[in-house]
Amino acid sequence: MSWILFAVGLTTLALGVNVLRPTRSLVGMVISFLAEWLVAELAHFTILFLGATVALLVASGGLTRTAGRIGFAAAVVGFGCLVVESALAWRSRAAVTGAFTAAGLAPPDPDEGRRRRFLVPLWLGDHRVERIGDLRYADGAGRRHLLDVYRPRGGVHDAPVLLQVHGGAWLVGSKRQQGRPLMNRMAAHGWVCVAINYRLAPRATMPDQVVDVKAALAWVRAHIAEHGGDPDRIVLTGGSAGGHLAALTVLTENDPVYQPGFESADTSVLAVVPVYPPTDLLALFRFRTARTDRWAGRLAAMIFGATPTEDPARYRRWSPIDLVASPTVPFLVVQGSADNLVPAAQTRAFVDRLRAVPGQRVVYLEVPGAPHAFEVFHSLRAEAAVGAIHSFCDAVVAT
């Protein structure tokens, strides 16, 4: 039992340290993210499960040898890290209040039922909402040009519309995997929500993805009234790569270069909510060593058609931070402070660039201790961020 306790203790310590200090090295970045994401947002379950395991091993004689005692000490430190992470999660509501107060907005009210969802975090259904699935918004590309509509069960009329763009590093992902807590809350409170697929790399390279988001917006303008939505009140949102595409879509509003075959369509929106968005593509694929940069460049070339070294101009052309020039629609930018895939420093620089534009309205919410993709399922941070996005969107469409 001592050696099992030793292994469990070191695992607990590694998980605890990782949630507070995830790595951004190219080799370990994805593994670190996955461990941070699940452990941080399910910290209460992690503490319960590992705590029960350690207690059982101690009761079974795990402390009789030095290895067991070392494992127990490591577990105690690991649990301390997890407690700190939980405390950071409880501060998310205060972070929302602070961000909204600083922007002159009323803080959001908690959504009903959030304690129940906290206990069942992976349950993404909502009896108040109905989904109309797999509607085609553009020809070709099979399932990549389909969308789902979420609306209040029983119907709605002239409701504001939220368009959700999924993430996945422009390489993977689908409309059913992300944004569900947000869309369920919004639809349950009278919004019509649209979640889209779009073409993915390497089969499709940039700017095909932006073209698809704009094509979906054109479809919403033409058809959302059939599902109870108001085509003149649209807010655009997305997480990660979807946040990048949302910001890029707004910053290239009605640009015919990105609207081939539908150049005259109005693809403008009332506001945009990028969530942990990559905004500086050159910085995103820059690491500590030249060898790592070369590997990252090969991955980037699958998405953007060339490495950052070969053609830095195209990375600047598709970096939202380089496109901010004049006032545009209101922004709510949401970022986790412990995100190791899209560092918070990058998002802060983007927000600073927006705020430097006279007349630009921007709210910045940095969620304490939050990893990448923290609002994909229900958690303390997810509920706080979802409430913030809902309140911001309500305020935008009310003006």
- The mean pLDDT of 364-387, rounded to a whole number, is 94
Confidence of residue 113 (pLDDT cuts 50, 70, 90): low
Note whether residue 43 is domain-resident: yes
User: Does residue 360 share a domain with residue 261?
Assistant: yes
User: Does residue 220 share a domain with residue 123?
Assistant: yes
| 25-29, 84-88, 258-262, 315-319: least confident range | 25-29
Q: Which of 75, 90, 105 is the last residue of a domain?
A: 90
User: Does residue 124 share a domain with residue 55?
Assistant: no
DSSP bridge pairs for 146: 136
Q: Which of 42, 65, 90 is the last residue of a domain?
A: 90
Is the separation of the CB atoms in 285 and 312 below 8 Å? no
Q: Is the pLDDT of residue 116 over 60?
A: no
User: Does residue 374 share a domain with residue 391?
Assistant: yes
- The mean pLDDT of 90-107, rounded to a whole number, is 92
| pLDDT score at 111 | 59
What is the domain count for the chain?
Answer: 2
DSSP bridge pairs for 130: 151
Q: Is the pLDDT of residue 45 over 60?
A: yes
User: Does residue 139 share a domain with residue 31?
Assistant: no
What mean pLDDT is reported for the chain?
Answer: 93
| pLDDT score at 26 | 73
| pLDDT score at 70 | 94
Confidence of residue 117 (pLDDT cuts 50, 70, 90): low
| pLDDT score at 153 | 94
Active-site residues, by number, are: 240, 339, 372
Note whether residue 351 is domain-resident: yes
Is the separation of the CB atoms in 339 and 372 below 8 Å? yes
Note whether residue 58 is domain-resident: yes
User: Does residue 40 share a domain with residue 12?
Assistant: yes
User: Does residue 96 share a domain with residue 86?
Assistant: no
Q: Is the pLDDT of residue 114 over 70?
A: no
User: Does residue 22 share a domain with residue 56?
Assistant: yes
Note whether residue 288 is domain-resident: no
Confidence of residue 110 (pLDDT cuts 50, 70, 90): low
Q: Is the pLDDT of residue 35 over 70?
A: yes
> In this structure, what token pair is assigned to residue 345?
């420093």
Note whether residue 300 is domain-resident: no
- The mean pLDDT of 186-194, rounded to a whole number, is 97
Q: Which of 61, 90, 119 is the last residue of a domain?
A: 90
Q: Three-class SS of residue 317? A: helix
User: Does residue 256 share a domain with residue 385?
Assistant: yes
Is the separation of the CB atoms in 341 and 347 below 8 Å? no
User: What pTM was estimated for this model as a whole?
Assistant: 0.94
The number of C-alpha atoms within 13 Å of 264 and in the hemisphere containing its C-beta is 0
Q: Which domain holds residue 384?
A: 92-280+319-398
- The proportion of the chain whose per-residue pLDDT surpasses 90, expressed as a percent, equals 83
Note whether residue 313 is domain-resident: no
Of residues 121, 116, 122, 150, the one with CA closest to residue 135:
150
- The mean pLDDT of 190-206, rounded to a whole number, is 97
CA distance 17 to 266: 48
Note whether residue 373 is domain-resident: yes
User: Does residue 243 share a domain with residue 138?
Assistant: yes
Q: Is the pLDDT of residue 292 over 90?
A: no
Q: Is the pLDDT of residue 263 over 80?
A: yes
CA distance 17 to 39: 11
User: Does residue 334 share a domain with residue 246?
Assistant: yes
Q: Tell me phi and psi for residue 197, to 5 degrees.
A: -90, 160
- The proportion of the chain whose per-residue pLDDT surpasses 70, expressed as a percent, equals 98
pLDDT tens string 120-177: 888 888 999 999 999 999 999 999 999 999 999 988 999 999 999 999 999 999 999 9
Note whether residue 38 is domain-resident: yes
Four-residue CA torsion sign, 129, 135, 137, 140: positive
- The mean pLDDT of 193-211, rounded to a whole number, is 97
DSSP bridge pairs for 195: 148, 164
Confidence of residue 112 (pLDDT cuts 50, 70, 90): low
pLDDT tens string 53-72: 999 999 988 888 899 999 99
| pLDDT score at 293 | 77
Contacts of 72 (CB under 8 A, 6+ apart): 5, 9, 54, 58, 62, 63
Q: Is the pLDDT of residue 264 over 70?
A: yes
User: Does residue 206 share a domain with residue 175?
Assistant: yes
The number of C-alpha atoms within 13 Å of 310 and in the hemisphere containing its C-beta is 10
- CATH number of the domain at 107, please: 3.40.50.1820
Q: Tell me phi and psi for residue 77, to 5 degrees.
A: -65, -40
